[in-house]
C-alpha cells in the first residue's frame, strides 16, 4: 500500500528542511518504503523553493510543486491531484503532531480496510496537547462549538493538521467540496465526509504548539465565520426551500 504525504508550505524556509528530513528518517526507521512526499508551495516569497529543490535532489521520493494560489485548501487539492498513493493526506511541516502517528496511520490503513479516513484530534479524551496558547485554546473551542451547533460536526477536532484518506474517497470528496483555498477547506472536507457516512477514525494524538506559526488568527477566524454561514445555508436552509 502506497502513501502520499502532502506538505502544504508558504514561506517555510526555517522549517521545511527539518520537517521533510525528520519524516524521511522516521519512515526509514520503521522500514516503510512505499511512499512519496509532495511539497506543495502556495506562493512562497522566501527561500522555500530553493530548499525544496535541494530536498528533491537529496531524496528521490520527494517532489516539489509550486502553485500560484495561496492557501492550504488549494495546496491540498493540488497534492491529491498529483498523488499516486492508495492513501493520501497532509501533515503540517512543523510536525506539531507527533511523527509516530504517521506509522500508526500506516498500520491502521493496512490492517483495517473498513477505515476510509483518519482525522487527527487534539481534543479527544486520550489526546495530549502541550504548549497551546490561551487565546488559541479559546478560538479552537469556539470554532468547535459553532461547528457542532450549526453544522452538527461529530468529530472532536476540526483541523489538527494530520489527515489521511484513501485516495478514491479523497477524490470523491473534492468533487463535492467548494473551491475555497484557505484552512476552512479542510474543515469542509471533513464535514462532507461525515455527511456522506464515510468511515472516519477520530484519532487522539500527541500535539505540541509551534510558536512560530504563520497562521493569521484574526483573518482566519473571520473567514471561518463566513464559511460556516455558507455551509449552514447549503446543508439546512436551501434543502428546505
What is the average pLDDT across 63-82? 97
**Among candidate residues 45, 49, 68, the one with its CA nearest the CA of residue 57:** 49
**Among candidate residues 186, 178, 160, the one with its CA nearest the CA of residue 75:** 186
3 state SS of 71 = coil
Q: How many CA atoms lie within 13 A of 77 on its CB side?
A: 24
* Residue-level pLDDT at 133: 78
- Helix (H), strand (E) at residue 219: helix 217-232
Task: Provide the 8-state DSSP code for 11.
Answer: S
* Residue-level pLDDT at 166: 98
pTM of the model: 0.93
Indicate the fold that domain 3-240 takes in CATH: Spore Coat Polysaccharide Biosynthesis Protein SpsA; Chain A (3.90.550)
3 state SS of 75 = helix
Instruction: For 104-156, write each residue's pLDDT tens digit.
Output: 999 999 999 999 999 999 999 999 998 877 777 888 888 999 999 999 999 99
The neighbouring-strand residues paired with 41 are 9, 66
Say how far apart CA 62 and CA 148 lie, in whole Å: 38
What is the average pLDDT across 72-98? 97
Q: In 3-state terms, the chain is what percent helix, strand and coil (to 5)?
A: 45, 20, 35
Going from N- to C-terminal start, the domains of the chain cover: 3-240
Instruction: For 161-215, write each residue's pLDDT tens digit.
Output: 999 999 999 999 999 999 999 999 999 999 999 999 999 999 999 999 876 655 6
The answer to whether 90 and 6 are in contact (CB under 8 A) is yes
Say how far apart CA 58 and CA 44 lie, in whole Å: 21
Amino acid at each position: 500500500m502506497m502513501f502520499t504525504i502532502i506538505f502544504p508550505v508558504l514561506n517555510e524556509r526555517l522549517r521545511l528542511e527539518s520537517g521533510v528530513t525528520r519524516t524521511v528518517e522516521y519512515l526509514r526507521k520503521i522500514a516503510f518504503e512505499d511512499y512519496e512526499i509532495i511539497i506543495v508551495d502556495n506562493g512562497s516569497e522566501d527561500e522555500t523553493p530553493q530548499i525544496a529543490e535541494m530536498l528533491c535532489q537529496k531524496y528521490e521520493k520527494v517532489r516539489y510543486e509550486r502553485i500560484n494560489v495561496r492557501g492550504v485548501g488549494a495546496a491540498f487539492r493540488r497534492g491529491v491531484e498529483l498523488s499516486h498513493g492508495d492513501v493520501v493526506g497532509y501533515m503540517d511541516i512543523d510536525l506539531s503532531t507527533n511523527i509516530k502517528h504517521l506509522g500508526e496511520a500506516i498500520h491502521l490503513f493496512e490492517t483495517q480496510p473498513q477505515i476510509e479516513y483518519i482525522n487527527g484530534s487534539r481534543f479527544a479524551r486520550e489526546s495530549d496537547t502541550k504548549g497551546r496558547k490561551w487565546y488559541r485554546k479559546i478560538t479552537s473551542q469556539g470554532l468547535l462549538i459553532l461547528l457542532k451547533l450549526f453544522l452538527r460536526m461529530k468529530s472532536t477536532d476540526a483541523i489538527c493538521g494530520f489527515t489521511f484518506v484513501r485516495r478514491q474517497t479523497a477524490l470523491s470528496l473534492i468533487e463535492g467540496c467548494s473551491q475555497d483555498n484557505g484552512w476552512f477547506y479542510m474543515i469542509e472536507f471533513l464535514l462532507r465526509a461525515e455527511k456522506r457516512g464515510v468511515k472516519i477514525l477520530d484519532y487522539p494524538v500527541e500535539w505540541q504548539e509551534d510558536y512560530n506559526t504563520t497562521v493569521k488568527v484574526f483573518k482566519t477566524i473571520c473567514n471561518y465565520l463566513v464559511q460556516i454561514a455558507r455551509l449552514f445555508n447549503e446543508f439546512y436552509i436551501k434543502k428546505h426551500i
